[in-house]
Structure 1
Amino acid sequence: MWEDNNPVIAEKTRPQILVVDDTPDNLKIMSGLLKDDYHVRVANSGERALAVVAAHSSLDLILLDIVMPGMDGYEVCRRLKANPATRDIPVIFLTARNEVADEERGLALGAVDYITKPISPPIVLARVSAHLRLKAIADLLRDKADFLEAEVARRTREVMAIQDVTVMTLASLAETRDTETGNHIRRTQFYVRALAIRLRHHPRFAGYITDSRIDTLFKSAPLHDIGKVGIPDRILLKPGRYVAEEFEIMKRHTTLGRDAIEAAEDALGAPVEFLTCIKEIVYSHHEKWDGSGYPEGLSGDAIPISARLMAVADVYDALISRRVYKDPMPHEQAAAIIADGSGSHFDPDIVKAFLEIEDEFRAIAERFADQDGFLDGKRDYLAMAAEGR
C-alpha cells in the first residue's frame, strides 16, 4: 500500500485521510486501522469535518459517518460536492445505516462507496486503497489536462502575438512606401472597431458582428492598403494629384492585395476567417453603396460588411489628414461629408452609427495624431473619391 523505499519520502507523501464520526471509540478504531499506511485526521461532527477540510486542502479521502448530531453526513457530503475546491475529494460513507435507500441517497450525493458497520477491516483497507489509487489516476489525468490546456492557451497567445506583429509590420511597410506616418493604420483600426461595437446589436449586422468578429476586424483593418506595395513608385510617390490614367493604375492596389491574400489561402489549403476578412477589406473598401465604386462596382448589401465599415473609417481619416495638395479638414466638416455620403457612398446605417459616435472618432484621431501634424508627400485618392472624382 503506497510503499516507498525511502522512509522519509514515504512519510511525507502518505495519503491523508479524514475520519468523521461522533463516537470516540469509532474514531479510535479507524485511526488504529489506518495509521500504519496513512496520515489520519479525525473530526467528531459534520461542522468540524468541514472546518478540517477547509484547513487541509490536500486531503485525499474522507470516511464519513451519516448519523451525527447537528449536521449529518449527507449534508456534509452535499456541501463538499457543491464546492469546487473540495468536490474531487473521494467520500466513502461508513455507517450503521444499511437500507438500500440510504446507500442510493449517499451515492447520489457523490460518494464513491458505501460501507456498513460493523466493518470488516480487510474490506475497509481494500476499498480505501482502491479509491486512493483511482484518485491518484484522476489527479494525474486532471493535472495533464490542465497542463495541456495551459500549454494550448500559451501557444495560442504566442501565435496571436506573432500574427499581430506580422500584420502591423506588413501594414507599416505598405504605409512607409506611401510616405505616410504609421498612425493612419492605427486610427482606421480603432475607427473600425468603434463602428463594429456600435452596430453589434443592430438587426442588419448582429448576425455578422460577434465579439470574435470585432477582434478579427480590428486585426484585419491595418492591411486595407497592403496592395500599394505593388504600385510603381512613379505613381505611388508622385507629389500632387493623380491624372485619370494614374488613378486607374492606383486603383489596382485592391486587386493586388486581394491576389496576395488568396495566394496565402492557397498555401494554407483551407479557408481562414482572418484572411477572408482581410481579403474583403483589401478588395472592396473602395466600393460605394450606390455601385459607383471600384474594383467591381458592387452596390448595397453585395459589398461585404467589413469593407463597408472600412470605407467610412478610411475616408474620414483621409478627410481630416493633411496632404501636399490640401489642408486637413476640421472634424465637423469631415463628419458632414460622411453624412452627405449616406446612401450614395456609404451604407446609411453605418453612417448613422458614425454620427452617433463621432466624438469617439474625434478622440481616436487626437489620440493617434501624426507627430508633426503633416503627412509629408502623401497623395490620397480617397480624398479624390470623397470629392466625387
Structure 2
Amino acid sequence: MTHLTLRRRLKEILVLQDVSILALAHLAETRDIETGNHLRRTQGYVRLLASLLLNHPRYGLLLDAGSVELLAKSAPLHDIGKVGIPDHILLKPGKLNAEEWVIMKTHAQLGSEAIEHAERDAEGPVPFLAHAKDIAHYHHEKWDGSGYPMGLVGEAIPLSARMMALADVFDALISRRVYKAAMSYEQARDLIAADSGHHFDPEISQAFLQAFEQFVAIAEQHRDPVRPS
C-alpha cells in the first residue's frame, strides 16, 4: 500500500468517525424539538474557546492544536444522555417541576455511562471519547460547586466541561424556548459576565468576553430557521 493510499484511507476513516459522532449526537437532538442548530453552534463555541486558551499561561499547557480539534469533535455528544429521558419530561412544553427536574438531571450520568461503554468496546484507545465522557458528565457542574451531578468545585471540574458549560449556557440564553423568549447577545454576555466565578471559570469567562464578537459570528452563521407563527 502506497503512502498516498494510506493517507487517503486515514482521511476516509476520520471522515467516517466524524459522521458517526454527529449521527449519534443528532439522535439525542431529534428527541428535543427546541435544539435546532444547537450542536453546530456549541461545537463552534468550544473550538473557539479552546483556541483562545492555547495562549493562556496555565491552560495552554493542557492544550495543543490536536486537542482543540478533539474537544470540538467531542462537544456534540454533551447531551447524548437525553436519549434516556422519558418523552413526557424531555418534550414537556414548559418548565419542569421538582420531580421531573431530578429525572432530567440524570442525563449527565446516562451520557457518561454510554460513552464509557463505547470506550470499553473499542479495540484501542479513542482519545476523543475521554473528552466526550468528561463533557457529557460534568458540563452542568459550576465553578462554585453548586452544579450537578457531583457538585465539583473549581479546577476539579475537567477543563473540557468548563468550556462546554459556558458554550451551552450562552446558546441556551440566546435561543427561543416555548417557555421563554431569546435574549439578545448583549444580555447573554452580561449575564455570563455576572456569573463569572460562580457558574463559570473566570478565565474562560474572560476569554469569552474578549472574543465576544466571534461568538456572535458563530451564532449568526448557524442561526435556527425562522418558524412560521
Establish whether TM, by shorter chain, passes 0.5: yes
Q: Distance in 1 between matches of 2:23 and 2:198?
A: 34
In structure 2, the partner of 1:315 is: 169
TM-aligned CA deviation for residue 244 of structure 1: 1.1
The equivalent position to 1:339 in structure 2, one of 193, 210, 214, is 193
TM-aligned CA deviation for residue 182 of structure 1: 3.8
Q: Distance in 2 between matches of 1:356 and 1:362?
A: 12
Q: Distance in 2 between matches of 1:213 and 1:360?
A: 20
In structure 2, the partner of 1:196 is: 50
Asked if residue 354 in structure 1 is aligned to residue 208 in structure 2, the reply is: yes
Specify the code of the residue in structure 1 equivalent to 2:177. Answer: R
TM-aligned CA deviation for residue 373 of structure 1: 5.9
> CA distance change for structure 1 residues 180 and 172 in 2, over 3 Å: closer, same or farther?
farther
Deviations 1:267-297 (A, max 9, x none): 1254321100000100000000011101100
Asked if residue 328 in structure 1 is aligned to residue 190 in structure 2, the reply is: no
In structure 1, the partner of 2:110 is: 256
TM-aligned CA deviation for residue 151 of structure 1: 2.3
> CA distance change for structure 1 residues 284 and 181 in 2, over 3 Å: closer, same or farther?
closer
Q: Distance in 1 between matches of 2:135 and 2:147?
A: 14
Q: Distance in 1 between matches of 2:77 and 2:7?
A: 26
In structure 1, the partner of 2:28 is: 174
TM-aligned CA deviation for residue 208 of structure 1: 1.4
Give structure 1 stretches of 5+ with no counterpart: 1-143, 377-389
In structure 2, the partner of 1:277 is: 131
> CA distance change for structure 1 residues 222 and 342 in 2, over 3 Å: closer, same or farther?
same
Specify the code of the residue in structure 2 equivalent to 1:337. Answer: L
The answer to which structure has the higher strand fraction is 1
In structure 2, the partner of 1:240 is: 94
CA contact (8 A) 1:322 1:373 kept: no
Asked if residue 214 in structure 1 is aligned to residue 68 in structure 2, the reply is: yes
SS of residue matched to 2:60: coil
Asked if residue 293 in structure 1 is aligned to residue 147 in structure 2, the reply is: yes
> Identity rate of aligned residues, in percent?
57
Q: Distance in 2 between matches of 1:363 and 1:373?
A: 21
Deviations 1:303-339 (A, max 9, x none): 0000000000000000000011111000111001100
Q: Distance in 2 between matches of 1:202 and 1:159?
A: 33
Q: Distance in 2 between matches of 1:271 and 1:184?
A: 28
Give structure 2 stretches of 5+ with no counterpart: none
The answer to which structure has the higher helix fraction is 2
Asked if residue 368 in structure 1 is aligned to residue 198 in structure 2, the reply is: no
Give the number of the structure with larger relative contact order, counting CA–CA contacts within 8 Å between residues 6 or more apart: 2
Q: Distance in 2 between matches of 1:249 and 1:170?
A: 22
Q: Distance in 2 between matches of 1:303 and 1:189?
A: 19
SS of residue matched to 2:200: coil
> CA distance change for structure 1 residues 360 and 151 in 2, over 3 Å: closer, same or farther?
same
Q: Distance in 2 between matches of 1:349 and 1:373?
A: 37
Q: Distance in 2 between matches of 1:201 and 1:228?
A: 34
SS of residue matched to 1:293: coil
TM-aligned CA deviation for residue 237 of structure 1: 0.8
Task: Report the number of matched residues.
Answer: 229
TM-aligned CA deviation for residue 260 of structure 1: 0.5
CA contact (8 A) 1:172 1:182 kept: no
Q: Note the aligned Cα RMSD (angstroms).
A: 1.5
TM-aligned CA deviation for residue 343 of structure 1: 0.6
Greater Rg over alpha carbons, structure = 1
CA contact (8 A) 2:34 2:177 kept: no
Q: Distance in 1 between matches of 2:162 and 2:196?
A: 12
SS of residue matched to 2:47: helix
Q: Distance in 2 between matches of 1:373 and 1:152?
A: 46
Q: Distance in 2 between matches of 1:271 and 1:306?
A: 18
Specify the code of the residue in structure 1 equivalent to 2:101. Answer: F
Q: Distance in 1 between matches of 2:6 and 2:59?
A: 32
